[in-house]
Structure 1
Amino acid sequence: MDNGMEKRRAGESEEVDEEKWVYDSSVDHKGRIPLRASTGVWKAALFIIAIEFSERLSYFGIATNLIIYLTKVLHQDLETAAKNVNYWSGVTTLMPLIGGFIADAYMGRFSTVLVSSFIYLFGLILLTMSVLIPSLKACNADPCGNPKRLHEVIFFISMYMISVGTGGHKPSLESFGADQFDDDHSEERKKKMSYFNWWNSALCFGLVLGVTLIVYVQDNVSWASADIILTVIMAITIVVFYVGRPFYRYKVPEGSPLTPMLQVLVAAISKRNLPYPSNPSELYEIPKSEKTQGRLLFHTDNLRFLDKAAIVEDGNRTTLTQNQQPNSWKLSTVTKVEEVKLVVNMIPIWLATLTFGIGVAQATTFFIKQASSMNRKIGHGFEIPPASIYSVAAIGMIVSVTVYEKILEPALRKATGNERGIKILQRIGIGMAFSCVAMVAAALVERRRLEIVQGGTGGGMSMSVFWLTPQFVIIGIGDGFTLVGLQEYFYDQVPDSMRSLGIAFYLSVIGAGNFLSSLLITVVDILTEKKGRSWFAKDLNHSRLDNFYWLLVVMQAVNLCVYVFIARRYSYKNVKRRVAVVDCYEGDVSVSV
């Protein structure tokens, strides 16, 4: 009887302890185990979202109007300008692969965000100088006939400094925000699912202001004024981000996350001739009685060759019975093997989303250029800047995310029993279908615009820019499914030690999509020019963007079928348990790292 009561009290004490402290291998700003009540969740995430708002304001204020700057100020032709935008966007969204690796392995996410934010800020300062200082301006006369070479050099240096800053900022910041929610706490886990939705809503508000207010200042006041605004806002939000330091939960970097993966491969290859054990439970895993940080994963039957890394050889049994640490290059745990499987399983998904990335690239290049050739006047002579039409996509995404969060997800959760409503890959696939429909709308509108031009009824300028609304709204709705889904997928399904790198994988879909878009434009230009008329002429009215959009429709439709085939066979991450290391002394609690 006494034994039973003692066990119940111990269980109650452990439950209370779990509610008081966060045992997910996080530490607070003093290196101790965080108090749940005073750290993390939304009180910390709001500081993080503030600087993300600033970064997105700057990025989209620059990116959406970049093709206009290149064609009007630097006098580049349409094809060259589109390629330069795609190259810059591609580098900007591939750099996070380096930044995410550095954050996970060495610097930690907070420090990486702080350092990269200063690099971003210096890029904005240099960009401001290039349009403000007379000796660095493109021209000192208006109109500008031949821009200075020095201006082009300084301009592109500043733009690629922003790319480098984004490389550390984006993957680290988003994963750092998600780190503020404990996966093993039921209430915080639900809040984390909402976090990705509301993160993207805040991102879209920054985007809307970027493509409306900032773009308006660029077009109607000066490029210098817009750059000054962005620089000041970025400087302020860096301070705000640092002020939130006491409220954050931090993940301590554990060294290169690629080393354990390499160890699994080496161990599997060295034991390739060994037979599989009759029971998977015979594979090596850390004993339940042994305290460890992190979460363990269930064994899965796919990629069985890798399981050989966890086969215990006779030579290792002595080491294990003596409680010595085995050689990681000869013996891996089931969890480490499963983490390698997770990464390998992601490769087909990543490849299958690249065509979606190509579609996204059109929204900031050809869609904007379409808008510049249409009637943008409303009211008494007010003219909408071409890039501001992109705000329609952001509004579409905000509506999509809000409806999903407040209406669809609760209803789907009841219908399917899945805590997310639908599986992550299903959400991504729905958005990819919307993207395909958006390209159909874009092709139809562009064809109609060209008919007006060819009919000689005032040219494309007689066609209202609001004809572009459907394609922007549809692509925004699709982004609310696919982009949010990709963020959640690459954060949740990678090994816990690779979550910044996981967000970088998501961003690399967009980056690789931009490069592939440039490559596709080059190939199509060469092939169509051989047939007598390029689809990408110097003048938009003599181009055939409608044909290019139809090509993307076919590519996306075929790719969607391939994606569905892969997604239906995907095996999701299956967490087994988590055990934390807790050292209690003199009434204090600390974590062993």
Structure 2
Amino acid sequence: MSGQPVLFTDTDSESTASSVPSELKIRKLPVGIILLVELCERLTYYTLAGTQKTYLQNQLDKAPSSSAALNSVFSMLCYFWCIPGGLVADSIGRYKTIIMAGSVYAVGTVCVGLAVVHDLQQSLGWLFMFGSLVLIAAGTGGIKPNIANFGADQIGDLTERQRECQKTFFSLFYLSINVGVLVAFGFLTNITTAGLPGVVSQAEGYSFAYGSGAASMILAVILFVAFTSSYKREAGSGLGPVKALVKYQMHSVLNGGGWRAIMSLLGFLCLPCFFLCTLASTLLASPSHSASSEVFVDPCASQLAPASAPPRMLHGGGGGSALLDNAALGLGSCACIFLVVANMSCTWVRELNEEKASFTSNDAKQFFAAIPMIIVVNIAFNLCYNSMNNAFPSQACQMDLRLGNTQLNGAFFNIADAFAIIIFTPLFETCLYPMIAKIKGSPVRLGQKIIAGLLIAAASNVSAALLEDKRKAAPYLCGPDIGFSQCAPGYSEDGLEGTRMKDISAFYIFLPFTLVGIAEILVNPCMYCFSYEAAPMELRSLLQAVNLFFSGSVSNAFTAVVAKMAYPNSLDDGNLNKYYYINVVISILGIGVYFIVTRCNHGREMKKVVKTEIMEACGAESDGEL
């Protein structure tokens, strides 16, 4: 190609259109709309995900451990649907899939918004569960694996400048996510428990916040449809490549693929069993507690006048079956181990007699060879990351939340994660990475970013554990004008029941949140890029869905099981640090497994089936750097 394309080109620019082939254009308008749509969708998702545990335990009277497990199951289901979403997109196209999934998502948010209206909460609890666990989960799963790829499609990857612009897009995409996070956690989550003085009563806080999320999602769908004419739309390739992938797997098992082929198949078969056991264990938890089921003595009662009724604490266990918990843990572990070991070398893939040029055995090897890295990195990182959804906010809810005359919600402190991403992303890209590259004489590689991210993620959970020791040692806040924590277990609308805060500022929780944000910068954009570039062209949506599937669904399934086994219903009487240190150990083990994977046959196999420019697009100069 004789010339370089203009980096950002509007589709309606006549002067550019006449000089640059359409396939080389980078469409600025649709890229901007896609970033805005992602912002709205993430605002909606995190408003719900960040406050769902508190709603379940305080409005629907579920035990804290069950609420934490259900919250993890919600995230698990959202990411579980990424696989069907990727398959549909590869079949009919990303554009149509995003519209259909967005519509389902919007209906789900409306259902949730209606279900949390104060006078309807108890009678419409089923609608809240249906809207969140079914409709929103399915809608998210259809959008998430496709919206980033759809944005990358608008840029193209035929030239070096386009590929560089794609990397910038993935960073901007992640930035837009966190702008939505800031609005969700910095504003809407506080309204759920405190209301908005003079505008929204405390009783209607959830309906206002979730209603705002519904409006945001409806706006996202309208915006996406309104700019249809400006999009570059890739037609779906049908399910032929996916069917071929399944054929390669089964043909290899039956025709000399050896133990690796069998192990790969067993790994895939274990996954649905893992999810079924996790769902059964969580949904079969003990029923909701009645208002009088658990009573405890207020630690401040001796210093204050007796309350009209003794406060309560929901101490009850999460219920369910220990057998199911152990079965889920075993099946999930086997699935991950089998898939990693089997696909470290993809020489097990056998040629098909009816093989067509459109999807070759090398394409199959390319897809399978990407799986070990996706599994190892996502499990090692996201178990620590998931603490940010349940454990960190719960810990903050039993610290000093007061700010003036109001209380913050524990989920508010997620803004530290978003601020860390917004602040440190440009610093890393423009200062840190170039400085390190200059010192070491070579670019900062993908593997180096990932290892640093895993270490920082582990450090976030260690810092939270140390902070929990400080919190438990602090005295209770017992002043006459100090009420119970509005987001901790047992809080009642009259303010006469609940959990006392401790005399230690909740703002200390900013540290673990910030560390998670820094770790995200190092890990998640790398995995987005790797999944897009390492996939065969026909299966880009599917491999991105696999990445998201292990990132959110499999990791949250593990978190749901670990939460039921190690997450205490009473933080003051239990040991939350056990939960944290399990995550830390898995993260450190993941680093060791990562080195084994990248130094074994996986790297050599990737070199055979992945083009040089694909590896360079992800920041790797050789297969060993992966």
**Bucket of the pairwise TM-score, normalised by the shorter protein:** 0.7 to 0.9
CA offset digits 1:528-547 (Å, max 9, x no partner): xxxxxxx61x3221121023
In structure 1, runs of 5+ residues without a counterpart are 1-13, 21-33, 139-147, 274-300, 310-327, 525-534, 579-593
Counterpart Cα distance in 2 of 1:38 and 1:190: 13
8 A contact 2:77–2:553 mirrored in 1: yes
Which residue number corresponds to residue 383 of structure 2? 358
DSSP 3-state at the match of 1:74: coil
Percent of residue pairs identical: 19
Letter in 1 for 2:392: F
Which residue number corresponds to residue 305 of structure 2? none
Counterpart Cα distance in 2 of 1:56 and 1:153: 24
In the TM superposition, 1:320-335 aligns within 5 A as: 329-331=353-355
Which residue number corresponds to residue 77 of structure 1? 63
Letter in 2 for 1:441: S
In the TM superposition, 1:147-546 aligns within 5 A as: 148=122, 150-160=123-133, 161-219=135-193, 220=195, 221=200, 222-256=205-239, 257-265=241-249, 303-306=346-349, 309=351, 329-331=353-355, 336-353=360-377, 354-378=379-403, 380-411=404-435, 421-453=443-475, 460-508=501-549, 509-524=551-566, 536=568, 538-546=569-577
With over 3 angstroms needed to count, the CA separation of the structure-2 counterparts of 1:451 and 1:132, relative to structure 1, is: closer
- TM-score, normalisation: structure 1: 0.74
Deviates more, 1:234-243 or 1:492-501: 234-243
8 A contact 2:46–2:181 mirrored in 1: yes
8 A contact 1:40–1:249 mirrored in 2: no
Superposition deviation, residue 447 in structure 1: 1.0
Counterpart Cα distance in 2 of 1:521 and 1:109: 35
8 A contact 1:263–1:332 mirrored in 2: no
8 A contact 2:43–2:216 mirrored in 1: no
CA offset digits 1:401-421 (Å, max 9, x no partner): 222222234445667787xx4
DSSP 3-state at the match of 1:226: helix
Letter in 2 for 1:123: G
Superposition deviation, residue 335 in structure 1: 7.0
In the TM superposition, 1:83-98 aligns within 5 A as: 83-98=69-84
8 A contact 1:19–1:36 mirrored in 2: no
8 A contact 1:349–1:563 mirrored in 2: yes
Which residue number corresponds to residue 29 of structure 2? 43
8 A contact 1:440–1:553 mirrored in 2: yes
Q: Aligned Cα RMSD in Å?
A: 3.1
8 A contact 2:109–2:213 mirrored in 1: yes
Counterpart Cα distance in 1 of 2:420 and 2:560: 26
With over 3 angstroms needed to count, the CA separation of the structure-2 counterparts of 1:515 and 1:263, relative to structure 1, is: closer
8 A contact 2:346–2:365 mirrored in 1: yes
Counterpart Cα distance in 1 of 2:207 and 2:478: 38
Answer yes or no: is 1:59 the counterpart of 2:45: yes
8 A contact 2:25–2:155 mirrored in 1: no
Which residue number corresponds to residue 110 of structure 2? 125
Counterpart Cα distance in 2 of 1:62 and 1:490: 27
8 A contact 1:40–1:247 mirrored in 2: no
Counterpart Cα distance in 2 of 1:270 and 1:351: 26
With over 3 angstroms needed to count, the CA separation of the structure-2 counterparts of 1:412 and 1:335, relative to structure 1, is: farther
Number of aligned pairs?
480
Counterpart Cα distance in 2 of 1:466 and 1:268: 55
With over 3 angstroms needed to count, the CA separation of the structure-2 counterparts of 1:329 and 1:243, relative to structure 1, is: farther
8 A contact 1:400–1:481 mirrored in 2: no
Which residue number corresponds to residue 87 of structure 2? 101
Superposition deviation, residue 230 in structure 1: 1.8
Letter in 2 for 1:361: N
Superposition deviation, residue 351 in structure 1: 2.9
Counterpart Cα distance in 2 of 1:382 and 1:495: 53
Deviates more, 1:63-72 or 1:346-355: 346-355
With over 3 angstroms needed to count, the CA separation of the structure-2 counterparts of 1:264 and 1:111, relative to structure 1, is: same
Superposition deviation, residue 559 in structure 1: 2.1
Counterpart Cα distance in 2 of 1:171 and 1:554: 29
8 A contact 2:43–2:213 mirrored in 1: yes
Deviates more, 1:392-401 or 1:84-93: 392-401
Letter in 2 for 1:211: F
Counterpart Cα distance in 1 of 2:436 and 2:158: 23
Superposition deviation, residue 37 in structure 1: 8.5
Letter in 1 for 2:132: M
**Larger Rg, first or second structure (1 or 2):** 1
With over 3 angstroms needed to count, the CA separation of the structure-2 counterparts of 1:385 and 1:415, relative to structure 1, is: same
With over 3 angstroms needed to count, the CA separation of the structure-2 counterparts of 1:270 and 1:228, relative to structure 1, is: closer
CA offset digits 1:417-459 (Å, max 9, x no partner): 87xx433343222211111111110110001111125999997
Which residue number corresponds to residue 318 of structure 1? none
Which residue number corresponds to residue 114 of structure 1? 99
Counterpart Cα distance in 1 of 2:356 and 2:447: 29
8 A contact 1:453–1:541 mirrored in 2: no
Letter in 2 for 1:107: I
Superposition deviation, residue 128 in structure 1: 1.6
Counterpart Cα distance in 2 of 1:502 and 1:417: 33
DSSP 3-state at the match of 1:503: helix
Superposition deviation, residue 334 in structure 1: 10
Letter in 2 for 1:226: A
Letter in 1 for 2:113: T
With over 3 angstroms needed to count, the CA separation of the structure-2 counterparts of 1:192 and 1:330, relative to structure 1, is: same
CA offset digits 1:192-222 (Å, max 9, x no partner): 1111111111100100100121112222132
Letter in 1 for 2:535: V
CA offset digits 1:313-361 (Å, max 9, x no partner): xxxxxxxxxxxxxxx6434559722221222222322331313222122
Counterpart Cα distance in 2 of 1:302 and 1:334: 23
Counterpart Cα distance in 2 of 1:442 and 1:261: 43
Counterpart Cα distance in 1 of 2:453 and 2:125: 38
Letter in 1 for 2:211: I
Letter in 2 for 1:67: K
With over 3 angstroms needed to count, the CA separation of the structure-2 counterparts of 1:118 and 1:342, relative to structure 1, is: same
Counterpart Cα distance in 2 of 1:523 and 1:556: 19
CA offset digits 1:550-585 (Å, max 9, x no partner): 23222221222112221344434632799xxxxxxx
Counterpart Cα distance in 1 of 2:425 and 2:255: 48
Deviates more, 1:163-172 or 1:491-500: 491-500
With over 3 angstroms needed to count, the CA separation of the structure-2 counterparts of 1:468 and 1:332, relative to structure 1, is: same
In structure 2, runs of 5+ residues without a counterpart are 7-19, 258-343, 483-499, 615-626
8 A contact 2:115–2:127 mirrored in 1: yes
With over 3 angstroms needed to count, the CA separation of the structure-2 counterparts of 1:268 and 1:129, relative to structure 1, is: closer
Which residue number corresponds to residue 288 of structure 1? none
With over 3 angstroms needed to count, the CA separation of the structure-2 counterparts of 1:334 and 1:237, relative to structure 1, is: closer
Superposition deviation, residue 271 in structure 1: 7.6
DSSP 3-state at the match of 1:542: coil
DSSP 3-state at the match of 2:360: helix
8 A contact 2:453–2:523 mirrored in 1: yes
Counterpart Cα distance in 2 of 1:330 and 1:81: 51
DSSP 3-state at the match of 2:238: coil
